[in-house]
Structure 1
Amino acid sequence: MATEAETTFTLQPLDDGSAEVFGTELPRGRSVALAGHKLAVFTWEGCKVTVQGEPAVMYVADETPMAAYVNAHQTLNQRREEASKAAPGSAACRGPVVAVLGPTDSGKSTLCRLLGNWAVRSGWQPVFVDLDVGQGTITVPGCLAALPLEQPADVADGWSADIPLVFYYGHSSPGENPQLFKTLCDKLAALLARRAAADPRAAASGVLINTFGWVDGLGYELQKHIIAAFQCDVVLVMEQDRLHATLQQDLKTLSPRTQLVKLPKSGGAVKREADERRAARDGRIREYFYGPPSAPLQPATQTVRAADLAVYRIGSGPRAPNTALPLGAVSLADPLRLQNLAPSLELLQCLLAVSHAPTPEAILSSNVAGFVLVKDVDTARGTLTLTCPAAGQLPGRYLVLGSLRSSID
């Protein structure tokens, strides 16, 4: 089913069976209101669901890949059981670390949500890692984020992201600064490895990694870096035979113990145009500040002295690719260099991450506390007007600028 953002429909299962949406069971005897969603309702044993309202698209699928998906889940659960019985601290106590790869709009996020919800319902607490910087499942786009899953995702609002671990990359494509992307991958992977070493239950529950849809050229090399950095022992490939075949060959050297599995694409996964993806990114930023329709938030606007803050960009900003340079020349730009920026109109409508870093030198190694949106810059008075998720002093004075902007008011 699919509907536009301004229209609403409700779902309610009847008492003669159970149904689920992406692995989350629909509550019996209670309707769920949905707006601006694309979703699939599935039942294993048969169930009637009442639909009130007019979804833009609604149909019954003749075929479904759910059997293949649940088989993958059962295999992962078996590995978790084996890991939980192993000696703490041993290599065998580590549960499955799963990377989901595939081209854009092949159903990667949906599969991660299914596997995560089923794992939680089975009593496990895997960590969901979102590396799809162009989408932003856990928080705003442009982030590498990790979230321990403690309960199934809400049907309408997804997983509760009260305690995510977030590093701000700042761009919608990993190709904007691949060295920074790899550096943040390494830092996030190291932190999750430390968490698993300290908590046997977390180690046995494993990790689910959602990746981006760029699977050619540099994108493919970054995908291989993800597999190596997180020490993935299971790779699920969505839809594409060529990607599966290439990985099958390369993993023999890169990670010979990694199990590679090809899964079918769901018929409900549809290709989105570039403008649709941009609108979705803007929608995620809006939702961060204003909340979803079911639980609206009241962001705060505050004006702060520019002298009390410091805005940094990682890297040297836009630069010509090596292919555009004279023959034999290479770019001298440092992709990890910190550049302090003076307040200017360039910051208008920019999304800034509030870093936990105690010093500028620690920005690269520090996660972020949250985000603010620049609504006005008064260079004469030396002030910035910011939209913040809540009122009060910012949790840090160092702000990180990427290339993401938003048109929200």
Structure 2
Amino acid sequence: MSRNTVILEPNQEWTFEVLNQDKLSVYLVEGKAEIFGTELAIGREYEFETIKSSVFTYFGCKLQWEGECVEKTLDCPGMLKVANIHFALESMRKKAEENNGNGPVLLVLGAENTGKTSLCKTLVSYATRMSRFPCLVNLDVQSPIYSPPGALTATPISHILDVEEFFGLPPINGPSLTRNKQSLVYTYALLNPNTSTDYFQNQMRLLAEGIQERQNKDSSIRTSGVIIDAPSSLLFSKQQLDYVLSSFKCTAIIVINKNKDNEILKTEDNSVSGIDEKVVISTEESNPQSDDNNSVKKDDEIVNESKIQESLDKHAESEMISEPLDLNFDNVETVYIDELPGVKRNDDVFLRQIQRRVIQEYFFGSNRRNLSPFTITTNLSNLVVYRPLEQQEIAKNEDKSILLVKVIPSAVLQNCLLAVVDAEPTDDVKKIQNAETLGYIHVVEANEERSLIKILLPVPGKLPKNALIMGDVRYHE
């Protein structure tokens, strides 16, 4: 098969989609290019499957590719804003080093398919290229980042991201070109944060406490800061957004606007929240100037406050909106940026493909790193399984601090992905719901008539003597 050639001018990107079972090979022939902040090596073959990604260049480059994909070349001047945000964060990290304080805690918000995760990838990659160790937090339970779906994760990043595996795959045993990332994981088990709001907030609190504990032990991680990839549902829930801001002690917010005229955050009661203070981002890499609020200023990149006010006035005239809602963003810097060009829509089918691939590679490895999972058969009665209570069920309980309920093992477990948590089956339910996730097992078959269950383990051994949590996540071999 002959190779196709793509020549990119400065500040252009080449986007590609590899769907179903198709495969794509990409080569950087000359110039400099990167995938979400990770620089590509000249002459090396990069292989992709089931992915939507892009190659960007600040200086121009020549690429070659072969295989099956949907591809397009786009101008991408918006990446300069991403670089400016990086330098603003780096300025905050330097100040944290000088004062022996905490680095920036950045919350990235946006609607679906606006490029939140891509922005987080890029900012994390840029930070590691500056010898930083940022902590990447994923609060989007549908997006599997270093864990199967249904989990909240926090991962200190100390090495470059693997561009071929879009950094969403969980760490596995075996040879690797990059360092394995060891994540702090708390299972939520459900795929909608609003199904069990109290349980979701409980897991966020535990994750934030775990990050704080790790930062107290490692000054490099503390000063490098935290980058939080948030679910789009936070834009519509004042309660959860406030909870995230307070739990993680966020110092900065980036809101990716899907529509340029939308300079406000819509909330669940159809009100809006105006943001009084705007972070100003510098376009000068070499001479960032930091103000009292740790933001970096330059006139031509200032978020135009008159336009913000015009937008607020426009929405205030709508019958749906009464007055701006105060979200208490005191001392939190906020930046609005436009949706980056080339962002691809991840429909439900593609999202399920990604989730399935991550679960499959958790047990079986990838084409580059094969793993050998272990299958066992045991009695159904040997499992102690809990499930999250839905919000309506919690509201009916006398003790509203109980967030899990025990389930009788039955055929309903078939095809379930069960989280193995760091708690004994005999422990109190409150200890179990606060326990860290150690790993996952997959129920291949559950036979009620014979009271037997067939389980896939990621490593050889016996069934772990730990409490298990089930939820919405299923996997069919």
Which structure 2 residues correspond to residues 40-79 of structure 1 after superposition, within 5 A? 40-55=54-69, 57-79=70-92
Matched, 1:346 2:405: no
Matched, 1:80 2:99: no
Equivalent residue, structure 1, for 2:165: 157
Equivalent residue, structure 1, for 2:304: none
Equivalent residue, structure 1, for 2:366: 292
2:114 to 68, 83, 106: 106
Equivalent residue, structure 1, for 2:218: 199
Contact 1:314–1:335 (8 Å) recurs in 2: no
Matched, 1:11 2:26: yes
Which structure 2 residues correspond to residues 186-265 of structure 1 after superposition, within 5 A? 186-217=205-236, 219-240=237-258, 241-243=263-265, 246=273, 248=275, 254-265=328-339
Structure 2 CA distance, aligned partners of 1:331 and 1:371? 30
Structure 1 residues 251 and 126, CA gap change in structure 2 (3 angstroms): farther
Which structure 2 residues correspond to residues 147-186 of structure 1 after superposition, within 5 A? 147-159=155-167, 161=171, 162-186=181-205
Identity, in percent, stands at: 28
Structure 1 residues 59 and 158, CA gap change in structure 2 (3 angstroms): closer
1:230-264 deviation line (CA, Å, top 9, x unaligned): 00001111115232872626897634111001122
1:45-75 deviation line (CA, Å, top 9, x unaligned): 22111112232x1111023421011100010
Contact 1:157–1:292 (8 Å) recurs in 2: no
2:415 partner amino acid: Q
C-alpha deviation, 1:393, in angstroms? 2.6
Which segment is superposed worse, 170-179 or 25-34?
25-34
Contact 2:414–2:443 (8 Å) recurs in 1: yes
Contact 1:76–1:96 (8 Å) recurs in 2: yes
**TM-score, normalising length from structure 2?**
0.77
For structure 2, list consecutive stretches of 5 or more residues without a partner in the other structure: 1-15, 172-180, 267-271, 277-323
Structure 1 residues 253 and 60, CA gap change in structure 2 (3 angstroms): closer
**SS of aligned partner of 1:374:** strand
2:351 to 277, 286, 299: 277
Structure 1 CA distance, aligned partners of 2:41 and 2:20? 23
Structure 2 CA distance, aligned partners of 1:150 and 1:395? 30
Structure 2 CA distance, aligned partners of 1:398 and 1:215? 30
Matched, 1:386 2:455: yes
C-alpha deviation, 1:24, in angstroms? 0.9
Structure 1 CA distance, aligned partners of 2:79 and 2:325? 27
Structure 1 residues 155 and 307, CA gap change in structure 2 (3 angstroms): same
Structure 1 CA distance, aligned partners of 2:463 and 2:224? 35
Which structure 2 residues correspond to residues 302-381 of structure 1 after superposition, within 5 A? 302-315=376-389, 331-332=396-397, 334=400, 336-358=402-424, 359-361=426-428, 362-381=431-450
Matched, 1:142 2:150: yes
Structure 1 residues 209 and 381, CA gap change in structure 2 (3 angstroms): same
1:57-107 deviation line (CA, Å, top 9, x unaligned): 1111023421011100010011111111113xxxxx100001101111111
1:93-151 deviation line (CA, Å, top 9, x unaligned): 10000110111111111001000011001100011010000111221111011111011
Structure 2 CA distance, aligned partners of 1:251 and 1:318? 25
Structure 2 CA distance, aligned partners of 1:339 and 1:370? 20
Which segment is superposed worse, 284-293 or 190-199?
284-293
Contact 2:383–2:409 (8 Å) recurs in 1: no
For structure 1, list consecutive stretches of 5 or more residues without a partner in the other structure: 88-92, 322-329
**SS of aligned partner of 2:472:** strand
Structure 1 residues 169 and 197, CA gap change in structure 2 (3 angstroms): same
Structure 2 CA distance, aligned partners of 1:75 and 1:355? 38
1:12 partner amino acid: Y
Number of aligned residues: 391
**SS of aligned partner of 1:175:** coil
Structure 1 CA distance, aligned partners of 2:264 and 2:78? 20
**SS of aligned partner of 1:167:** strand
Contact 2:25–2:67 (8 Å) recurs in 1: yes
Structure 2 CA distance, aligned partners of 1:225 and 1:318? 17
Contact 1:308–1:397 (8 Å) recurs in 2: no
Which segment is superposed worse, 336-345 or 350-359?
336-345
Structure 1 residues 115 and 190, CA gap change in structure 2 (3 angstroms): same
C-alpha deviation, 1:292, in angstroms? 3.3
**SS of aligned partner of 1:405:** coil
Contact 1:354–1:368 (8 Å) recurs in 2: yes
Contact 1:179–1:336 (8 Å) recurs in 2: no
Contact 1:251–1:258 (8 Å) recurs in 2: no
Greater radius of gyration (CA): 2
1:132 to 128, 137, 140: 140
**SS of aligned partner of 2:249:** coil
1:141 partner amino acid: P
Structure 1 CA distance, aligned partners of 2:420 and 2:257? 38
1:187 partner amino acid: L
Structure 1 CA distance, aligned partners of 2:233 and 2:227? 18
**SS of aligned partner of 1:292:** coil
